Amino acid sequence: MSASTLLTPASTATPKPRPAGLVERADERAYVRVLVVLDTTILIIALLVGHIARFGDEEPSGSKIPYVLVAPGLVLAWLLSLKALGCYDDRVVGYGADEYRRVSSASLRLAGAIAIAGYIADVGVSRGFLGISFAVGTAGLEVARFAARKRLHRARSRGAGWSRKVLVVGDTAHVLELVHTLRREPYAGYQVVGACIPDALLAPVAQRLGDVPVVGSFRGIPEAATAIGADTVAVTASGELTAARLRRLGWQLEGTGVDLVVAPALTDVAGPRIHTRPVAGLPLIHVEAPEFRGARKLVKGFVDRSVSSLALALLCPLIAVIALAIKLDSRGPVLFRQVRVGRGGKEFGVFKFRTMVVNADALLAELTARNETDGLMFKMRDDPRVTRVGRLLRKWSLDELPQLVNVLLGQMSLVGPRPPLPSEVARYDGDVARRLLVKPGMTGLWQVSGRSDLSWEDGIRLDLYYVENWSLAADLTILWKTFGAVLNSRGAY
């Protein structure tokens, strides 16, 4: 079935046009104002901490400028530095790591500038006071941004909170793909409100592309954006959208308050692997090959073994308590060893605390028809094979603690794809088999994105994304998010 057959007559009338002009973004401005208030509060607290830590109850001396003037001036300079580096730009706040990088960069640059200026002018401001204030302030700004973003993401997931209203432009198949991608992560803040398709597919009656209203063709994109109140035009692939037409569209949107973004056909590739280089006036996108070996892999292996050995030493009392609880709850061994497939297709025995009855595998055939997930895995919320202690261990992911031994032995990593069963690997196609290019992990994108609540397709997509785009920074982020996923117990059964 062709993409054009997905077009259906709309049951509602075409949206009523709105007056032309700048699109109102009151909610965005309100969010930015909240960030300014948060940042100001954090900076005042940081300066107070720095003053108390450095001087205590004593009266500071030796400075040519009174500290009663230094503190307000430093807060103002810090806020101006954040503003100058775009930390309040609505295209940056709310999603992605760039917001955090800009906050850190603004703070470090200001600290460097003040250090140089203070040395040259010899104003005598305490370096201890400045050092403590900048350390506490920078950390506080990052934490405050994280908390504000989490609240915004929760609001967006509920259909509230400010989001960009997007008009998608392109061929029907590519429009549907982009809509699906944007809706997969609603917390990112891109809400599709309409679509423009090629003139040849436009019917005289109102149409819908899936559940997205078709509001016009390529001839009237600015007018369509104004009519539905869109503040972003996302252009995806289309044979009719030549470079000249796209450039002309950019000119037409100038001064309207509507942003123009281009969504390339390239997906699931992380930013560090993408570089834009102008060649003959064309912004060519260069994609670096994924890295599966080298110095960074050696560092990752060293970190895995170091952290796993330290964790095993610290968690020995907890491991002993869990082992005793399992032994008292049901007959059978404390540990469960299951054959899984690791990097390069090599099989190994993964260790877990036993959470099921001893004859669980024999009972699986009777429960196959009650499988609650698609794909190659078996998942069941109320699995009768799970013991009482096992349910508690699974809820808090404590059953996976023995896998630290697998990490110490080099068979697994702290972060990586989910370790598959040999029966799953036997049915892998060429794309899915790329999961075996790296070591499986105790946690991963699948863990922090919903675990068992994910579909097979989404789980594979996340694993392949990690394989292609892994980095040490991403590993640290996933480990941090794992604690939240475990505490929320979402998808754990």
- Summarize the confidence of residues 42-54 as an average pLDDT: 91
Strand partners, 207: 9, 214
In whole numbers, what is the pLDDT of the chain averaged over residues?
83
Instruction: Name which of 49-63, 151-165, 262-276, 440-454 the model is least confident about.
Output: 262-276
What is residue 205's predicted lDDT score, i.e. its pLDDT? 77
Of 405, 488, 407, nearest to 451 by C-alpha is: 488
CA distances from 206 to 16, 197, 211, 295, 375 (A): 13, 13, 12, 57, 38
E strands of 280-401, at which residues?
A: 282-287, 335-341, 347-353
* pLDDT higher than 50, residue 383: yes
- Summarize the confidence of residues 13-41 as an average pLDDT: 68
Q: For residue range 67-77, what is the model confidence (pLDDT) as tens digits?
A: 678 889 999 99
What is residue 365's predicted lDDT score, i.e. its pLDDT? 60
- Summarize the confidence of residues 102-106 as an average pLDDT: 94
- Summarize the confidence of residues 235-262 as an average pLDDT: 88
User: Residue 373: pLDDT band by 50, 70, 90 thresholds?
Assistant: low
* pLDDT higher than 80, residue 353: yes
In terms of phi and psi (left: phi > 0; alpha: psi -120 to 50; beta: otherwise), the region of 2 is beta
Is the distance from CB of 237 to CB of 171 less than 8 angstroms?
A: yes
Instruction: Name which of 59-63, 371-375, 377-381 the model is least confident about.
Output: 371-375
* pLDDT higher than 90, residue 22: no
d(CA 68, CA 77): 15
Q: For residue range 168-204, what is the model confidence (pLDDT) as tens digits?
A: 999 988 899 899 888 888 888 889 999 999 877 777 7
- Summarize the confidence of residues 46-52 as an average pLDDT: 90
Strand partners, 233: 167, 260
Instruction: Tell me which range, 7-11, 117-121, 252-256, 488-492, is most confidently predicted by mean pLDDT.
Output: 252-256
* pLDDT higher than 90, residue 206: no
pTM: 0.69
User: Residue 110: pLDDT band by 50, 70, 90 thresholds?
Assistant: very high
What is residue 18's predicted lDDT score, i.e. its pLDDT? 42
Is the distance from CB of 168 to CB of 194 less than 8 angstroms?
A: yes
